[in-house]
Amino acid sequence: MKSWFARSGRWILLALLTLTFAARSGRGQAGWPLWNAYVANFIDEQGRVIDHQAGDHSTSEGQSYAMFFALVANDRARFDKVLAWTQSNLANGDLGAHLPGWLWGRASDGQWHLLDSGSASDSDCWIAYDLLEAGRLWNEDRYTQLGRRMMALVAKTEVAALPGLGLMLMPGPSTNFIKDNVYTLNPSYVPPFLFQRFVTAQPVGPWGAVAADIPKFLKQSARMGFVMDWADYSQEHGFLPNERCSAGGGTKPGCGSYDAIRVYLWAGMVNSKGSMRGKLLAAVPGMADYLANHGAPPEKVSDQGVPMEQDGPVGFSAAMLPYLQALPQAGKAFTEQQGRVAGELNPRTGLYGNSPTYYDQNLAMFGVGFIQDRFGFGPGGELTVGWRH
Instruction: Return the axis-axis angle of helices 121-137 and 76-90, rounded to nearest 10°.
Output: 140
Task: Count Cβ atoms within 10 A of the Cβ of residue 364 and give its class: 0-12 exposed, 13-18 middle, 19 or more buried.
Answer: buried
DSSP string, 93-144: T-TTTSPPPSEEEE-TTS-EEEEE----HHHHHHHHHHHHHHHHHTT-HHHH
Using DSSP's 3-state secondary structure scheme, residue 20 falls into helix
Torsion of CA 8, 324, 223, 164, to 10 degrees: -170
**Active site residue ranges:** 61, 122
Q: In the chain, what is the straight-line distance between the N-terminal and C-terminal CA atoms, in Å?
A: 45
**Cα–Cα–Cα angle for 370, 375, 380, rounded to 5 degrees:** 110
CA-to-CA dists, residue 328 to 286, 334, 371, angstroms:
15, 10, 15
Using DSSP's 3-state secondary structure scheme, residue 48 falls into coil
What type of residue is 206? P
Q: How far apart are CA 23 and CA 15, in angstroms?
A: 12
Strand order from edge to edge, sheet including 231-234? 178-179, 182-185, 231-234, 238-241
Per-position b or e across 305-320, b if 16+ CB within 10 A of its CB: bebeeebbbbbbbbbb
**Best CA proximity match to 83, nearest among 113, 41, 126, 116:** 126
Cβ–Cβ under 8 Å, residues 286 and 225 = yes
Cβ–Cβ under 8 Å, residues 189 and 260 = no
